[in-house]
Amino acid sequence: MDASAAPPFAIEARGLWRRFGTTVAVAGIDLLVPTGSFYGVVGPNGAGKTTTLSMITGLLRPDAGHVSIHGTDLWADPDVAKRLLGALPDGVRLFDRLTGAQLITYAGLLRGLDRDVVASRTGELLAALDLEQAGSTLVSDYSAGMTKKVALATAIVHGPRVMVLDEPFEAVDPVSAANIRDILRQFVAGGGTVVVSSHVMELVERMCDHVAIVATGRVLAAGTVDEVRGTATLEDRFVELVGGRRTSEGLQWLHTS
Amino acid sequence: MVAHVVRLRLTLWAGSLRTSPWQIVGLALGLLNAVLVSLVLVGSMAYTRTIAEETWDVTLIVGGALVVVGWWVVPLLAFGVDSALDPRRFALLAVPRRPLLAGLAVAGLLGIPGLTTLAVATAGLLVWVPDILPIIVGLVLLPVVMLTCIAGSRAFALLMEPLLAARRFREVVGVLALAPIVVVAPALGQSLRALRRGADVAPALIEIVGWTPPGAVWAVQVDVAQGRWGRAAAHLAIALVTAALLVKLWDAGLERALTTPPPRPNVVAQHGPGWFGRLPATPTGAVLARSLTYWARDSRYMSNLTVLPVLVVTLHVLSQGAVPVTTIIAPAIVAFTLGWAVVADVAMDSSAFWLHASAGVRGIADRTGRALAVLVVGVPAVVLTFVAGAWRADRWDLAPASLGLSAVLLGASLGISSLVSAWVLFAVPAPGDGPFSTPHGSATANLFVQSLAWIVVMVLATPSIVLTVYAWRGSAAAGWGGLALGLTLGVGLLVAGLRAGARIYDARVPELVHALRSRG
């Protein structure tokens, strides 16, 4: 398709619903991610971030709603849409009886890449993510941060156009986190689109150009970071929208002196 | 404290029951099974009593000793210790050790094995009626029996923990299980032959087993019934010292578990892409390479490979080399078991399966890759098993019939399990757990689907079984016909199973990912 006809949104999710038993995890979320944006999804624990990100990456079927990736209907034509996507889910295992290099190779081959392409990309990814030493170690022996990094590598080895990363910086050391941020910024500068979820407001504020605040399965605010935070900081705005701050009068017994 | 731990155990049970109605069905079936087993055991005990008093003595002492040894050994090899009450989970709570020990001991009773043992041991006492004295002694000694069982099982598990944590060791445990079978089976054969000759081995057996730690506690009743008070006192002393030592051992193990972190396995390194570099660079080739890597590196897969030689050797020993068993039945069992091994493959991936979903792997690539890995392992295993049998019996003429039957069984079970594994997630141990540790998920679905699928496999294999029987009776034509039929039918069923499995897989990928993620 030519550039002028390309839809403006890398991800266009409308009216997403998902229920687990009697709990409604996601209650009608719209998420419009412009192509070429660095999009942050923030929200308190249990807000429905992971559920939403699973549904826009084809890992969880929504009860209702529609998702398209660069104009391709994800749930009607998952094969095409998944080729455009690089997903890093949170809280999942990896094939950890493989070495780091084998795991990235496996992800590349599953995506149908050539052997040579996979080999060279695996080497580059290990180097870029400071995992060269660990490439020949089983993933089951990795620390939490290393596991996160190798999972990121498996998510992007096929060169996606849209990355959807659930908590990509959790447990990652500061130097590696900075390296990952550089990789993501360059990816966005080259026309790619990144969606990250995070608890860390300053990180999102510093890194992202767009943000959505999600709580209790709904989007409370969304838009460019400047639009959403207004004159305050993102954290103040978040607390204002989400609520739940309490003055710490309780727990007096915790004050030992 | 005891009440606390017991309440915790019951709460955990209630919690696991609430997760799915299948859990309740599973518990009901488990209880029913336990009741049936108890009834059969008690019934046969009562029956032995009617034959002769000595028969009853043998049953009680030898059977009882076996139960105790089972408690000690089975958790190490088979089911894993009840991980819900892993003592390490209490490490951060400042719980005094001795009350905790008492609590765990009582909670250990609350399980199907504990309750069954208690029920059978109690009901067994009724056999002494109208003799009242052994019943009283038996009742008084019941707590000692249960303590010996529970303390022993926990003590040995804690004692072996550092060894079991070392990957190498865990991987050879299956092979170690071979040793007792090789030793016990001929001994059993010898005693059976002695019995058949009419020799009375019972007194010798009682004499030996009664003085061992697991047997002594049962011998006391017999001594009392016979009025041999000196022996009763001696047996009682052995029983009490055994129980006390086991409690001491458990206590020491508990102290170590509460104060030291769990042992970490050694770091393994492997350079290069391994199988990924040697097999075709396609999704199917990649799935095959990953599966083969796991067959060689994940103890849950390896246990299949270590258990099978044990099985074959056992068959050879127990059948004393009977030709149909070693040349036809043994390869058939190996073929069937390995074909069935792929049924839990997706469940074994656990939530790591997201990678297949995210990469958009086609169902046919996923199914075929996993099935090919089984063939790579299974075909040589079947052939080797046949060669071992044919060598021993010098019956190479049975090759076409035997291999034909095995081909059907391998193809049918592999095809059906490829279909089933895209549809039902079996309960399996989590990645990194031992092959025999408590599985995650409902084991009832396993039983139900498994029985159904096995019946289907048997029906599909019936023509081949018939031909094999004719070949065994000497018809060479039936043998070659069986081979042709077996190969055709085996390959056909495999391909059909892969295709159907692929369709189900493609439709259900997100549901599989979700179910696996909620298992944790």
Domain end among B214, B230, B259: B259
- Closest Cβ opposite residue A94 in set B283, B352, B357: B352
Residue B264 lies in a domain: no
The answer, for A61 touching chain B at a CB cutoff of 8 Å, is yes
Chain A residue with minimal CA distance to B20? A21
Residue B88 lies in a domain: yes
Contacts of B18 (CB under 8 A, 6+ apart): none
Section A95-111 average pLDDT? 95
**At residue A219, what is the residue type?**
V
Q: What is the C-alpha separation between B147 and B149, in angstroms, rounded?
A: 5
Q: What are the chain B neighbours of A89 within 8 Å (beta carbons)? A: 354, 358, 517
**At residue B190, what is the residue type?**
Q
Domain end among B199, B225, B259: B259
The answer, yes or no, to whether residue A116 has pLDDT greater than 60, is yes
Predicted local distance difference test score (pLDDT) of residue B430:
79
Distance from CA of B255 to the nearest CA of A (A): 27
Residue B220 sits in the same domain as residue B359: no
Residue B468 sits in the same domain as residue B344: yes
Please provide the size of chain B in residues. Answer: 520
Residue B85 lies in a domain: yes
Q: What is the C-alpha separation between B279 and A61, in angstroms, rounded?
A: 33
DSSP structure class, residue A194 = E
Three-state DSSP at B281 gives coil
Q: What are the chain B neighbours of A54 within 8 Å (beta carbons)? A: 513
Residue B368 sits in the same domain as residue B458: yes
Higher pLDDT, A84 or B311: A84
B297 and A140: CB-CB below 8 Å? no
Predicted local distance difference test score (pLDDT) of residue B169:
56
Structural domains in chain B (count): 2
Predicted local distance difference test score (pLDDT) of residue A73:
95
Residue B89 lies in a domain: yes
Chain B residue with minimal CA distance to A75? B510
**At residue A54, what is the residue type?**
S
Residue B268 lies in a domain: no
Cα distances (angstroms) measured from residue A108 to each of A86, B11, B44, B290: 12, 45, 61, 13
Residue-wise pLDDT tens digits, B301-344: 877 777 788 788 878 877 777 888 899 999 999 999 999 988 88
Residue B104 sits in the same domain as residue B237: yes
* Beta bridge partner(s), residue B350: none
Backbone angles phi, psi at B413, to 5 degrees: -70, -35
Q: What are the chain B neighbours of A85 within 8 Å (beta carbons)? A: 358
The answer, for A143 touching chain B at a CB cutoff of 8 Å, is no
At residue A32's C-alpha, the angle toward residues A29 and A37, to 5°, is: 135
* Beta bridge partner(s), residue A42: A198, A213
Over chain B (520 residues), the average pLDDT of each successive run of 10 is 82 72 69 78 74 74 85 66 66 80 85 84 83 90 92 84 60 56 62 63 78 91 90 94 94 84 64 89 96 86 77 80 89 93 89 95 96 95 95 92 96 95 84 63 70 91 94 91 95 97 96 88
Distance from CA of B307 to the nearest CA of A (A): 21
Residue-wise pLDDT tens digits, B99-137: 888 888 888 888 778 888 888 888 888 888 788 898 999
Residue B217 sits in the same domain as residue B135: yes
Residue A101 lies in a domain: no
Predicted local distance difference test score (pLDDT) of residue B171:
52
Tokens 């009742």, located at residue? B139
Asked if B303 and B177 touch (Cβ cutoff 8 Å), the reply is no
Q: How confident is the model at residue A147 (pLDDT cuts 50, 70, 90)?
A: very high
Tokens 């009832």, located at residue? B444
- Closest Cβ opposite residue A92 in set B354, B362, B511: B354
At residue A150's C-alpha, the angle toward residues A149 and A153, to 5°, is: 95
Q: What are the chain A neighbours of B289 within 8 Å (beta carbons)? A: 106, 109
B349 and A97: CB-CB below 8 Å? no
Predicted local distance difference test score (pLDDT) of residue B415:
96
Q: What is the C-alpha separation between A61 and B438, in angstroms, rounded?
A: 30
Cα distances (angstroms) measured from residue B231 to each of B12, B141, B316, B455: 44, 16, 41, 53
What CATH number did the domain enclosing A202 receive?
3.40.50.300
Residue B266 lies in a domain: no
* Beta bridge partner(s), residue A198: A42
Please provide the size of chain A in residues. Answer: 257
Q: How confident is the model at residue A2 (pLDDT cuts 50, 70, 90)?
A: very low
Predicted local distance difference test score (pLDDT) of residue B38:
78
A92 and B510: CB-CB below 8 Å? no
pLDDT exceeding 90 applies to what percent of chain A? Answer: 71
Distance from CA of A154 to the nearest CA of B (A): 8
Residue B168 sits in the same domain as residue B314: no
Instruction: Tokens for A129, please give them.
Output: 């993510």
Q: What is the C-alpha separation between B271 and A102, in angstroms, rounded?
A: 9
Cα distances (angstroms) measured from residue B51 to each of B48, B133, B160, B204, B222: 5, 21, 42, 19, 16
Contacts of B2 (CB under 8 A, 6+ apart): B99, B102, B103, B106
**At residue B138, what is the residue type?**
G
Residue-wise pLDDT tens digits, B395-446: 999 999 999 999 999 999 999 999 999 988 888 877 876 665 556 555 666 7
Q: Which of B278, B355, B514, B516 is the best mutation test for A, with the most CBs of A within 10 A?
A: B355
Of B32, B111, B105, B54, give the one whose Cα is nearest residue B79: B111
pLDDT exceeding 70 applies to what percent of chain A? Answer: 95
Residue B366 sits in the same domain as residue B459: yes
Residue B228 sits in the same domain as residue B353: no
DSSP A66-124: EEEETTEETTTSHHHHHHHEEEE-SS----TTSBHHHHHHHHHHHTT--HHHHHHHHHH
- Closest Cβ opposite residue A101 in set B273, B293, B513: B273
Residue B152 sits in the same domain as residue B300: no
**At residue B57, what is the residue type?**
D
Residue B46 sits in the same domain as residue B103: yes
Of B437, B316, B456, give the one whose Cα is nearest residue B386: B316
Residue B269 lies in a domain: no
B358 and A140: CB-CB below 8 Å? no
A109 and B293: CB-CB below 8 Å? no
Domain end among B206, B235, B259: B259
Tokens 């103040």, located at residue? A236
Domain that holds residue B16: 2-259
Asked if A60 and B510 touch (Cβ cutoff 8 Å), the reply is yes
Residue B270 lies in a domain: no
Number of helical (H) and strand (E) elements in chain B, helices listed first: 23, 0
Tokens 């979820």, located at residue? A197
At residue A210's C-alpha, the angle toward residues A30 and A92, to 5°, is: 70
Residue-wise pLDDT tens digits, A69-81: 999 999 999 999 9
Residue A70 lies in a domain: yes
CA torsion sign, B419 to B420 to B425 to B426?
negative
Contacts of A235 (CB under 8 A, 6+ apart): A201, A202, A205
The question of ipTM being above 0.90 is answered as yes
Structural domains in chain A (count): 1
Residue A21 lies in a domain: yes
Contacts of B89 (CB under 8 A, 6+ apart): none
Q: What is the C-alpha separation between A12 and A70, in angstroms, rounded?
A: 8
Residue B217 sits in the same domain as residue B292: no
- Closest Cβ opposite residue A93 in set B351, B360, B510: B351
Mean pLDDT across chain A, nearest whole number? Answer: 91
Asked if B502 and B362 touch (Cβ cutoff 8 Å), the reply is yes
Domain that holds residue A231: 3-90+160-243
DSSP B86-126: -GGGGTTS---HHHHHHHHHHHHHSSHHHHHHHHHHHHHHG
Residue B289 sits in the same domain as residue B244: no
* Beta bridge partner(s), residue A86: A163
- Closest Cβ opposite residue A115 in set B272, B281, B350: B281
